[in-house]
Amino acid sequence: MTRMTRRDFAALATAALLARPAFAQTNETSLITRAIPSTGERVPAVGLGTAYVFNRGDEQTRRAAAQVVLTLVEAGGRLIDTASSYGDAESVLGDVIASAGLRDKVFIATKLEEPDAAELKRSLTRLKTAKLDLLQLHNVRDPRQSLAQFKAWKAQGICRYIGMTSTFHGDFAAIEAVLGREKPDFVQVDYSLDDRDAEKRILPLAAEVKAGVLTALPFGRGRLFRAVRGKAIPDWATNFAGSWAQFFLKYLLADERVTTVIPGTSDPAHMADNLGAMRGRLPDLDQRKRMTAFIDSL
């Protein structure tokens, strides 16, 4: 397995800096950030998801990861979400972040399938870090699930925050039960303009227990892009969205209960486009209603 050297990353960094979009040079104070409810720490509202995109450890994947991560950081983003079950994604990210000296510039969130010490040790080794920003229990299905071990790891300083995830609506009842009882710092669920179940079920409870919300699959597994293929952004949306990606992401970000959206991509141009969603104005309530009506009509 080929590993990226500091020289390799420096070459990529130079190329990316020369080609970076204009918004990357804007004052960072214009970024949309959100407070993590349990502490008040602020994080940028657009991050990076890595499911399926960095799961291979080949050179092409590593180079793509380096470009995407650099684009994220240069534009003011921080949060990167991965998992122990995403193939080689943790190793790829660990190499990129360490080679570029970016550990203090990124917020690393990963997930374990079980509260297992061996799995945690493997994730820390792969990510080349002694401490995680967010450690999540992945795909919670049991309403009686305990997060006691995750809380213990947090108390030991292994992670700063703990959370839980699910992208299966059949498990939302379990998520609601555990979220209400365990009160983790974060909950991650799938939420998109064409799949708004979490808006009714998970977001109100998250706000009640002061949990941050990460939104996985914000493009609806690609359904949204397929639905608007060949269509122009409506005139009434052009004052807040410069692309369809920003249209979809800003719908989510207009709900202040959403902490960070985490679209996945291995394309630095798409990463740059996604990051544009944390600049400029957000749709108001009436515009959000028009957005849902527009998508529902397709």
Q: Mean pLDDT for the chain?
A: 92
For residue 1, what pLDDT is reported? Answer: 43
Identity of residue 212: G
Does residue 9 register a pLDDT over 80? no
Band of pLDDT at residue 30, cut at 50, 70 and 90: confident
Tell me: domain 42-296, CATH 3.90.1660.10, correct? no
Residue 95 has pLDDT above 90, yes or no: yes
Note the pLDDT tens digit of each residue in 39-84.
999 999 999 999 999 999 999 999 999 999 999 999 999 999 999 9
Check whether 21 has a pLDDT greater than 50. no
The per-residue pLDDT for range 128-177, each reduced to its tens digit, is 999 999 999 999 999 999 999 999 999 999 999 999 999 999 999 999 99
Pick the range with the lowest mean pLDDT from 7-11, 93-97, 115-119, 167-171: 7-11
pLDDT at 19: 46
* Of residues 163, 169, 208, the one with CA closest to residue 188: 163
The residues spanned by each domain of the chain are: 42-296
Phi and psi at 229, nearest 5°, equal -55, 130
Q: Give tens-digit pLDDT for 225-265.
A: 999 999 999 999 999 999 999 999 999 999 999 999 999 99
Helix (H) or strand (E) holding 13: helix 6-19
* pLDDT tens-digit series, residues 202-213: 999 999 999 999
Residue 216 pLDDT greater than 80, yes or no: yes
What pLDDT score does 263 carry?
98
Confidence label for 8 from pLDDT (cuts 50, 70 and 90): low
What is the chain's length?
298
What pLDDT was estimated at residue 193?
98
161 φ/ψ angles, rounded to the nearest 5 degrees: -135, 155
What confidence category does residue 96 fall into, taking pLDDT thresholds of 50, 70 and 90? very high
Between CA 206 and CA 180 the distance in angstroms is 8
How much is the pLDDT for 27?
A: 42
User: If you average pLDDT over residues 29-41, what whole number do you get?
Assistant: 93
Question: For residue 107, what are the β-bridge partners?
Answer: 79
